[in-house]
Amino acid sequence: MTPTPRIGVLALQGDVREHVHVLGQLGADATPVRRPSELADVEALVIPGGESTTMDKLVRAFDLQQPLRDRIAAGMPVYGSCAGMIMLADRIVDARPDQQTLGGLDVTVRRNAFGRQVDSFEGDLHFEHLRDGEAHPLRAVFIRAPWVEEIGPAVEVLATVEDGPAKGRVVAVRQGNLLATSFHPEVSGDHRVHELFVDLVREARARSGD
């Protein structure tokens, strides 16, 4: 029998419970991660939405920054949602002077690109590699969301905004074992992005021979 994927959710700030709930519904063993010892016990990680500057400070305060960077560099599957996308980006536009990221994604991300909290919105996206993606667009919830302004050659664009002033902006990407979205699929009721990530975790395990 294939072991259940053990996926951590970085539990310093943001939509932690929502991600744990969705992952559990998909059959994963989901657990909060706040300490390096807890990170060592998981094979993959979700970095939730929240506030990226606060998350950066907490990651450093809890001595998680270097362990996270090491695991990402070693190929651990990671999914970053909204602020999580910013944390995974190699470069940020409009970052605070002391803001740092974990890196790993060869992208440039603009913080709060869609505006303030009052400018939050929902929209339908055609998202590559989702089950029934062609027949059923993904309803995406954007809350003070970033977007991707530049991508490196190894980065695959999975979704772009299809209507409105931000039409064409990149809002979902993948590079190897790293997946990131500008929006919050944990609050939409559509679990296909998490399903894609769980599949990615299983594929990474198969490649490693575990």
- The set of catalytic residues is 82, 184, 186
Which residues lie across from 91 on neighbouring strands?
A: 108
Question: What CA–CA distance (Å, rounded) separates 67 from 59?
Answer: 10
Decide: 173 and 156 in contact? Cβ < 8 Å: yes
| Two tokens, residue 18 | 């929502």
The number of beta carbons lying within 10 Å of the beta carbon of residue 111 is: 21
At which residue do the structure tokens 């590079």 appear?
A: 175
Decide: 38 and 45 in contact? Cβ < 8 Å: no
Strands (E), the chain: 6-10, 29-33, 44-47, 78-81, 89-93, 105-110, 121-125, 138-142, 147-151, 156-160, 170-175, 178-181
Nearest CA to 22 out of 156, 186, 155, 150 is that of 186
Question: What CA–CA distance (Å, rounded) separates 192 from 113?
Answer: 24
